Chain A
Amino acid sequence: MRQEQNTVKKNLRKELDLIFVQNPVLVTGLALAPAVVGSFTMKNGVGLCLVFGMVTIPVLVLASFLGMLPEKVPQYVRTMACALLAALMLIPARMLAAQIAPNLFDSLGMYFSAVALNTVWLVRAPLCQEKKTLWSLWEGVCLTVGFSLCVMAVSTVRELLAYGTLWGKATALPLKFPAVAYVFAGFIVVGTAAAVLRWCVDRCHDILTLIRRQQKKWRA
């Protein structure tokens, strides 16, 4: 019983790592194209997160169901089924996006549809075939949260620097850098965010190690 509990805890921690320590964009480098190109305003960022979540979570759940199929079914058929579902999920995603912000679909352009074939589910779906449905669902949620955190941070910084606004509302920032809305600046901002995350994770790791050592000393 305790062993089972420990396994669940381990798995839970492993999946939670997908939010920060193994962030799909900033650490693993997956789904970089939409995160770099599409996220230049906060509204675009929210749209990307929405589409990403609506595509990735159902696809990973489907992948776990596909894992139950006999081994005779080749991998490419499973991937094609996942891609089909991802493309289908764009329809409700667009309807929902129209409810949140009417211009979201137009402002995202091709990146709205490009999210359907993002590298996150292309990499994770084969792994999810060996997992239970609930764990796949949890993984999808964690990946979406990790992606959303990155995209929202990047889009907030870019909108603030490029247009001096936040969610379209003017701020008191005196200086604007319109070039930050361009793609090259997206790479720079994502790269900087990756460096900052790595630094934070390293420092947290150092602090935790120090605390553990101190605890050991006190116990001794």
Chain B
Amino acid sequence: MLQYEQKAPYVRNRDSAFTFMMDVVIALLPLYFMAFYFYGFRALMMGLFSVAAAVVSDVVCLLLEGKKPYLRDISSVVIGMILPLMMSAATPYYVVVSAEVFAVVFVKHVFGGVGQSVFNPAAAGFAFAAACWPSQVFSYPAPFSSLEVFGPVSQTLSNGPSWNLFQGGVPTIDVLDLLLGKFMGPMGLTNILVLATCLFYLLFRGAIGWQAPLSFFAIMVTAMLCFPRVPESGPMSLVHEATTGMWVFGGIFLLNEPGTLPKRSSARLAYGALAAVFTILFQRFGQMEQTFAFALLLTNVFGFTLDRNSERLLRQLRRAYLATRTKHSEKKSAQRA
């Protein structure tokens, strides 16, 4: 019997990796529309520059590896679309492009390309940008401010509500504005209702599994409700954390990246839970206001181990079950005799 080693993403239905990635692209489009609505053409240009940088560096890496660029592989487009949404709309283009090149060259291609990367490329790109240029990445313009499409932004930039939470304060923003995303923050992370719609769309289309998001969001919501970071009620803490943090966006688009996500359902559940635990720990003891990307990079390391150990555990459980069943049937047959 011939056996072939198949690369991730492990798509088990009739859909291909292309359709799966197209679903993610479609899910990201409303977020770009909202970013355009709040910040104008600069948001779209950021996305355009990012996608262009990702595709160009992907093609260059493929050519250097002696491979032919495959048109139906749009993973670099997905990475290129995700990354700017986690940043401020006033972030200079060179920051976005540098982060993108880092993500594609050093995180995606160094580990072997699509489905082989150990770390999530978009999260690594964001972590790189946040470590290199924190003032540019975490300084936000006010919504509906007309930002210059090219050149430096002349509008006043300031820290978002996530900074207030990080410092132990309570953001003074109206709940309706929070739900509608009408406050200073990363350009694709503030629209919680749109994000929820994206999650349901991706789940409905089967582009992402339910296991990792379920355990991740369950633990995050429980932690936010039961142990608020700032002195306020549990539900308000949940609203503040969910609307201002990166974890909702990350739980939908970054956590479910097929290259780093475990294969087995049980491992996926554990993976989501581990990501939630790391996110909470990074939130409480981290040095930055948006720490989900760092927590995810740490979780990525355990993806393979979780897969292997869950398989071993399931096998042992199956053996134990079969052994008890055999004993039981033997006993019954002995009683009958």
Contacts and interface: CB of A to CB of B under 8 A. Distances in A.
B247 interface: no
A188 B103 CA distance: 12
B106 A188 contact: yes
A175 interface: yes
Contacts of A182: 131
B113 to A, nearest CB: 15
B320 interface: no
A188 B131 CA distance: 15
Nearest to A182: B131
Contacts of A188: 106
Interface string A163-193: 0000000000001111100100000100100
A158 to B, nearest CB: 13
A145 to B, nearest CB: 28
Contacts of B133: 178
Contacts of A178: 131-133
B94 A179 contact: no
B131 A179 contact: yes
B94, B110, B128 pick with most chain A CB within 10 angstroms = B128
B132 A191 contact: no
B259 to A, nearest CB: 19
Contacts of A177: 98, 132
B33 to A, nearest CB: 31
Interface in B117-150: 128, 131-133
A179 B132 contact: yes
Contacts of A179: 128, 131-132
A95 to B, nearest CB: 36
Nearest to A180: B132
Interface in A178-211: 178-179, 182, 188, 191
Most buried by B among A176, A177, A178, A182: A177
A117 to B, nearest CB: 27
Interface in B203-231: none
Contacts of A176: 132
A176 B95 CA distance: 10
Nearest to B297: A184
A21 B133 CA distance: 38
Interface of B: 94, 98, 106, 110, 128, 131-133
Given A179-B131, A191-B110, 12 more contacts: A175-B94, A175-B98, A176-B132, A177-B98, A177-B132, A178-B131, A178-B132, A178-B133, A179-B128, A179-B132, A182-B131, A188-B106
Interface of A: 175-179, 182, 188, 191
9 contacts: A175-B94, A176-B132, A178-B133, A179-B128, A179-B131, A179-B132, A182-B131, A188-B106, A191-B110
